[in-house]
Amino acid sequence: MSKLLELNSATKIYQNGADRVVAVKDASFLVEPGQFLAVVGPSGAGKSTLLHMIGGLEIPTKGEVNFGGMNLYRMKSKELARWRNNTVGFVFQFYHLIEELNALENVAIASFGRGKIYALKKAQELLKYLDLDKRQQFFPSQLSGGEKQKVAIARALVNDPKVILCDEPTGNLDKDSQDKVMQLFVKLNKDMKKTVVMVTHNQEIAKEAEKILYMRGGELLS
């Protein structure tokens, strides 16, 4: 089995005053290139912490997170930041768009480091792919929830990441928009061969994934 991502007993413990909170306990699993994986569990199960460890945002208390055979947390902070920017696209429940920028600028800004002309051209291509070419001059306040999430997805794709990490990406959407966004993730997975790791409390939308893991109380259940 080829491995893009491998977790070995990845554990995250927070100290909250005198209390010791185990957010994620001994998580071990593989993600293959081009796979669509969903991690399902209730609020507080540790799903977001798990995703943040995968994406280079949370240092595990113990265990390893390996990407392409490389232990992420042996990198220096600048190297890890560069890896994160070039390798991972994040999509969150709340879109985190910049209100003062239009849709095109919100997408392109994530790639300005590669040159403004390149970034704007790539952003235009992605918005057209996502059927938002007529909305590229609209500001976030002029977009529906589903359209905002599509803009956030385009931003996640603008640096051509190897993996898309999604944290409750439909949690802020109505049923129709949820379905459209999930169809989009399936399309990205099939057409662009993007590896997708999504965490969600919604078992219904998780059915679109190729593989589902369940999480409760910080532990992955078999």
Confidence of residue 2 (pLDDT cuts 50, 70, 90): low
Q: What confidence tens digit (pLDDT) does each residue in 149-174 have?
A: 899 999 998 888 999 999 988 887 78
- Give backbone dihedrals phi and psi of 43, rounded to 5 degrees, phi first: -60, 135
In the chain the domains, ranked by start, together with CATH numbers, are 5-98+146-221 (3.40.50.300)
Percentage of the chain modeled with pLDDT above 90: 60
Half-sphere exposure of 162 (CA within 13 A, CB side): 15
Q: Which amino acid is at 92?
A: F
- Give backbone dihedrals phi and psi of 41, rounded to 5 degrees, phi first: -175, 165
Q: What confidence tens digit (pLDDT) does each residue in 41-100 have?
A: 988 899 999 999 999 999 999 999 999 888 999 999 899 988 988 899 998 888 889 999
Q: Helix, strand, or coil here: 90?
A: strand
